[in-house]
C-alpha cells in the first residue's frame, strides 16, 4: 500500500491488511446476501474504526448506524445470529436516564429488540420497544448514520492520493439519500427509508419520541438500499424475510444430510453448512462460493475450486456453478497488467472504484499459478462424481485451453514444471495459495527468486493431466488420452527426482529460478498426497513428517515447521494453521491409508471449533502448540466466515469415512474408513450417485474398525466396502 504521510504507516507488501488494536478486539456479527455484506458489533451498531459497515460490490455504503437512547448507548443483554445465518437479533434495554442528578427512568424497564437481515441489495432492520414498567415512559431514540463510500482496499489500509466527490445529501419526510461520485465517474448511492416517519429527520440522524404506556410496544422499521444492488422496490420486513428464508431452504436442500452421534460435532456441521450457504452467491452461471468476509467477499478462483472440491460429495451443484463461472471468465488474451495469458483461470475479480480505475489490478486478475490446474482437476472430479458428460462436453473447450496454458505459458522454462513470475509490479509476488510475499524461502530464510515451481502445483498438474485424460476418453478424443497420460507420467518422474528431500522425509516446498530446492518442512507436500503424485513409500514418510510435533500443533498441521528460519506462529503463512490446508492434508493422508493421522486432524479441528465463536472456524489460526485447558490462539484479521474453512469439515469427514463416489461406474466406495473416537456413528442421507440414483448410509465405529450399513437405496448403485 502507498505510504501514509499523515501517520508514517508503510508496509512493503502493498496488499497487507492493516490491523489496529481496536480492529482486532471485540466480537463482530456478519450478514451476507449476494454481493452485499454487513459487519457490526454485538448491539447491532456500525461504528468506530475498522471494518464495520454495510458493503456492496467492494464499496462501503454505510459506515455509521448507531442507536442512542437520550444520547446514551443502550445496555446489551444478549445477541445472536440465527444458525441459518439469515437473521441477527440483539436484546437491549434502556440505561438509567438521569435528569439534573435525578434518575428519571430506571434501567431495565424498556426492552429494545433489534433484528436485521440482508436481501437483494437491501438491509432490513426492525427495532421494537416494549415498556415493562408500571408507569408510562417517554424517551428519545435517535439513529445516527453516515456513508463514507470508501473502497474495501481503503478499509484494509491502503491510502489514496485522491478520492471522488461526496454529493450533497437529501432528506425528505421519511427518506434520506446519500451519494458519492467516484473517480471512475460512477455514482454510488445509499437510500434510507424509515417507517413510521421520524419526528425529526436530517441528513445524518433520525429522532423518534417513543411514548409507551405500561406493556405497550412500538416498532420502527428501516430499510437501507445500495443503489445498483437493490433488485426492485424494497418489500416490507416480514415479506422480504419470508422470501429470504425460502431461498435459504432451497439452497440447503441441494446438500446430502449428515448427522453423527456427537451433538457438538453436529453443531459444527450445521454451522459450517450454514456458512458455506451464506458465502454462496447466485451468479448468471450458477452458485459460486465467495471467499470470505470482510476482505475477500468476491469470487476467487482457487478458493471457489477448493470449496467445491471439499463439498463435492455432498453437493455437486456448487462445483458446476464454479466451473461455469470460471469457464466464462477464463483469460482469452495476454495482458501483463493483469497477469493474464490465454487459457488461464481467474485468481480474483473485484468491484469498487479502485479496481475500476486500475489503482489495484484486481478488477479481473489472473495472478495465481494453481487456479488453472485446479480447474481441470475439479472438472474431472465433477465428471466422476456425476457422470454428467453433457456438461463436460460444454466446458471441454475451456479445459483444453487450460491445458494449453499449462503446457506453454505455465511452464516458463520448458522443464515440464509449472512456474510463476509476476508480469506486473502491482501483481502478487507469490502466486500459490500461500501468497504473502515472504512465504517461499530457503532453509536459511532467504526468499526464493522467481520463476518459482511450488511442489503442490506439480501435484495439481499431475492430477489435472490424468483427470483430463479420463474426460477425453469419455468424449472420444483418443489422441488426447495418450498425450495427457504420457505427460502425467513424465511429470511424476521428474517431480520425484527434483523435489524429494531424503534427509527431511518430505518434498521441497519449491524450486527457485535456478532449480535449487527450498529445503523447508511445510504443509505443501500434503497437497501432493491429495493430488496423488507422491510415490507410496515416500507418501508414508511425508505422513509421518506432517504428524511430528514440529508440524502438528495439536490443533492441526502448521503451514511450516517450528524449526524453520521464518517460523512465526503469528504469521499469515509461515507457521499458522489453516483449516482448508488441513482438510486437503486429511484427504491426502486418507488416500495413502494413514487413517490415524486423518483421525488426529479431525479431532484437532473439532476441538478448535469448540473454542471459537459460533463454532465458526476462521480463515486461519495461530500455530502455537496446543496447551492443556486452553483454546487456539486467534489470528487478528482472519476472515470469518471463510468459505474454504467452513467447508473443511466436510472433506475431513469424507476422509474419515474413506468415501468416494464414482457415478460413471454407478458405485460408492468405502475404503479404509477410520472414525475418530469422538464419533461412534455417522449417518449420510440423500447421497446422490449420478442423475437417478441415491443411497443412505450408516457408519458405526467398532474399535479401530468401521461397519457400513445401507439404509436405503434408489436406482442402480452398488456400495463397495474394503477394510
Q: pTM, whole model, 2 decimals?
A: 0.94
253-657 is classed CATH 3.40.50.720:
no
CA distances (Å), origin 714, targets 362, 387, 704, 710: 46, 17, 30, 11
Q: Is the pLDDT of residue 24 over 50?
A: no
Which tens digit of pLDDT belongs to each residue from 434-475? Answer: 999 999 999 999 999 999 999 999 999 999 999 999 999 999
pLDDT of residue 14: 66
Phi, psi of 179 (to 5 degrees): -150, 165
The residue extents of the domains of the chain are: 21-248, 253-657, 658-723
> Is the bond leading into 196 cis (omega within 30 degrees of zero)?
yes
CA dihedral angle for residue 145, residue 150, residue 155, residue 159, rounded to 10 degrees: -130
**pLDDT digits over 153-191, tens only?**
999 888 898 999 999 999 999 999 999 999 999 999 999
pLDDT digits (tens, 9 = 90+) for 680-708: 999 999 999 999 999 999 999 998 999 99
Cα gap 613→317, rounded to integer Å:
29
CB 672 within 8 A of CB 722: yes
| Residue 157 near residue 150, CB atoms below 8 Å | no
Q: Which letter does DSSP use for residue 677 in this model?
A: T
Question: pLDDT tens, 522-536?
Answer: 999 999 999 999 999
Q: Is the pLDDT of residue 625 over 60?
A: yes
* 658-723 under CATH 1.20.120, yes or no: no
Rounded average pLDDT over 224-246:
79
Write out pLDDT tens, residues 60-91: 999 999 999 998 999 999 999 998 999 999 99
* Confidence band, pLDDT 50/70/90 cuts, at residue 5: very low
Calpha distance 343→349 (Å, rounded): 16
Q: Mean pLDDT, to the nearest integer, of 111-140? A: 96
pLDDT, residue 249, reads 85
Helices 455-475 and 371-386: angle between axes, nearest 10 degrees: 40
- CA–CA distances in Å: residue 699 to residues 268, 707, 720: 19, 6, 13
Class of domain 21-248: mainly beta
pLDDT, mean of residues 42-54: 92
DSSP 8-class letter at 572: S
Average pLDDT, the chain: 94
pLDDT tens per residue, range 251-296: 888 999 999 999 999 999 999 999 999 999 999 999 999 999 999 9
Residue 303 has pLDDT above 70, yes or no: yes
Can you tell me the mean pLDDT for 219-240? 80
Task: Give the integer Cα–Cα distance in Å for 78 and 59.
Answer: 30
Task: Note the pLDDT of residue 27.
Answer: 73
**Per residue in 312-350, pLDDT tens?**
999 999 999 999 999 999 999 999 999 999 999 999 999
Q: Does 253-657 match 21-248 at the fold level?
A: no
Distances in whole angstroms, Cα of residue 407 to Cα of each of 341, 493, 609: 12, 17, 41
Amino acid at each position: 500500500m502507498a505510504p501514509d504521510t499523515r501517520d508514517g504507516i508503510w508496509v512493503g507488501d502493498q496488499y497487507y491488511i492493516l490491523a489496529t488494536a481496536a480492529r482486532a478486539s471485540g466480537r463482530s456479527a456478519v450478514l451476507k446476501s449476494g454481493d452485499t455484506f454487513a459487519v457490526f458489533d454485538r448491539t447491532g451498531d456500525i461504528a468506530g474504526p475498522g471494518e464495520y459497515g454495510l458493503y456492496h460490490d467492494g464499496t462501503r455504503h454505510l459506515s455509521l448506524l448507531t442507536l442512542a437512547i437520550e444520547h446514551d448507548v443502550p445496555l446489551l443483554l444478549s445477541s445472536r445470529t440465527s444458525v441459518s445465518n439469515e437473521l441477527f437479533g440483539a436484546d437491549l434495554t434502556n440505561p438509567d436516564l438521569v435528569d439534573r442528578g435525578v434518575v428519571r427512568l430506571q434501567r431495565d424497564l424498556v426492552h429494545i429488540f433489534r433484528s436485521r437481515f440482508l436481501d437483494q441489495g437491501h438491509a432490513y432492520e426492525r427495532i421494537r420497544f416494549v415498556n415493562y414498567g408500571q408507569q408510562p415512559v417517554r424517551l428519545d431514540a435517535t439513529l445516527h448514520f453516515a456513508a463514507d463510500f470508501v473502497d474495501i482496499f481503503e478499509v484494509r489500509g491502503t491510502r489514496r492520493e485522491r478520492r471522488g466527490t461526496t454529493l450533497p445529501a437529501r432528506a425528505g419526510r421519511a427518506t434520506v439519500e446519500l451519494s458519492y461520485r467516484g473517480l471512475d465517474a460512477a455514482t454510488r448511492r445509499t437510500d434510507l427509508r424509515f417507517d413510521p416517519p421520524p419526528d425529526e429527520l436530517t441528513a445524518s440522524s433520525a429522532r423518534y419520541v417513543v411514548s409507551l404506556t405500561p406493556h405497550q410496544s412500538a416498532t420502527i422499521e428501516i430499510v437501507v438500499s445500495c443503489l445498483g444492488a437493490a433488485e426492485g422496490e424494497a418489500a416490507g420486513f416480514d415479506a422480504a424475510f419470508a422470501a429470504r428464508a425460502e431461498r435459504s431452504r432451497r439452497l440447503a436442500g441441494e446438500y446430502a444430510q449428515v448427522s453423527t452421534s456427537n451433538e457438538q460435532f453436529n453443531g459444527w456441521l450445521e454451522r459450517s453448512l450454514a456458512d458455506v450457504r451464506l458465502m454462496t452467491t447466485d451468479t448468471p452461471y450458477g452458485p459460486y462460493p465467495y471467499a470470505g468476509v470482510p476482505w475477500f467477499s468476491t469470487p476467487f478462483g482457487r478458493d471457489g475450486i477448493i470449496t467445491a472440491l471439499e463439498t463435492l460429495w455432498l453437493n455437486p451443484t456448487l462445483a458446476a456453478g464454479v466451473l461455469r463461472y470460471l469457464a466464462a471468465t477464463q483469460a482469452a488474451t495476454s495482458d501483463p497488467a493483469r497477469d493474464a495469458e490465454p487459457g488461464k483461470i481467474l485468481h480474483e475479480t473485484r468491484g469498487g472504484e479502485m479496481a475500476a480505475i486500475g489503482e489495484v489490478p484486481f478488477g479481473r486478475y489472473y495472478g495465481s499459478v494453481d487456479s488453472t490446474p485446479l480447474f481441470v482437476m475439479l472438472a474431472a472430479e465433477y465428471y466422476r462424481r456425476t457422470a454428467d458428460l453433457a456438461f463436460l462436453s460444454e466446458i471441454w473447450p475451456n479445459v483444453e485451453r487450460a491445458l494449453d496454458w499449462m503446457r506453454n505459458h505455465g511452464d516458463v522454462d520448458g522443464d515440464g514444471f509449472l512456474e510463476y513470475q509476476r508480469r506486473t509490479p502491482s501483481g502478487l509476488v507469490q502466486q500459490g495459495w500461500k501468497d504473502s510475499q515472504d512465504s517461499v524461502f530457503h532453509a536459511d530464510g532467504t526468499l526464493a527468486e522467481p520463476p518459482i515451481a511450488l511442489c503442490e502445483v506439480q501435484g495439481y498438474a499431475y492430477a489435472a493431466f490424468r483427470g483430463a485424460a479420463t474426460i477425453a476418453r469419455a468424449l472420444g478424443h483418443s489422441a488426447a488420452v495418450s498425450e495427457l497420460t504420457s505427460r502425467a507420467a513424465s511429470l511424476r518422474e521428474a517431480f520425484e527426482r527434483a523435489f524429494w528431500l531424503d534427509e527431511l522425509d518430505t518434498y521441497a516446498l519449491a524450486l527457485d529460478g535456478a532449480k535449487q530446492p527450498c529445503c523447508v518442512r511445510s504443509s505443501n507436500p500434503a497437497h501432493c498426497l491429495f493430488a496423488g503424485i507422491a510415490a507410496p513409500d515416500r507418501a508414508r514418510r511425508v505422513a509421518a513428517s506432517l504428524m511430528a510435533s514440529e508440524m502438528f500443533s495439536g490443533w492441526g498441521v502448521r503451514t511450516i515447521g517450528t524449526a524453520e528460519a521464518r517460523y512465526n506462529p503469528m504469521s499469515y503463512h509461515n507457521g499458522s494453521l489453516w483449516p482448508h490446508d488441513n482438510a486437503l492434508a486429511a484427504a491426502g493422508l486418507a488416500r495413502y491409508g494413514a487413517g490415524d493421522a486423518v483421525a488426529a486432524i479431525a479431532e484437532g479441528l473439532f476441538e478448535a471449533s469448540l473454542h471459537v465463536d459460533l463454532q465458526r472456524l476462521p480463515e486461519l489460526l495461530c500455530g502455537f502448540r496446543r496447551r492443556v485447558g486452553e483454546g487456539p490462539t486467534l489470528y487478528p484479521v482472519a476472515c470469518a466466515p471463510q468459505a474454504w474453512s467452513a467447508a473443511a469439515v466436510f472433506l475431513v469427514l469424507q476422509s474419515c469415512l474413506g468415501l468416494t463416489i464414482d457415478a460413471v461406474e454407478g458405485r460408492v466406495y468405502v475404503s479404509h474408513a477410520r472414525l475418530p473416537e469422538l464419533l461412534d456413528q455417522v449417518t449420510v442421507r440423500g447421497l446422490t450417485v449420478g442423475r437417478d440414483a441415491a443411497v443412505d448410509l450408516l457408519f458405526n465405529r467398532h474399535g479401530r474398525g468401521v461397519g457400513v450399513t445401507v439404509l436405503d437405496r434408489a436406482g442402480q448403485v452398488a456400495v463397495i466396502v474394503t477394510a
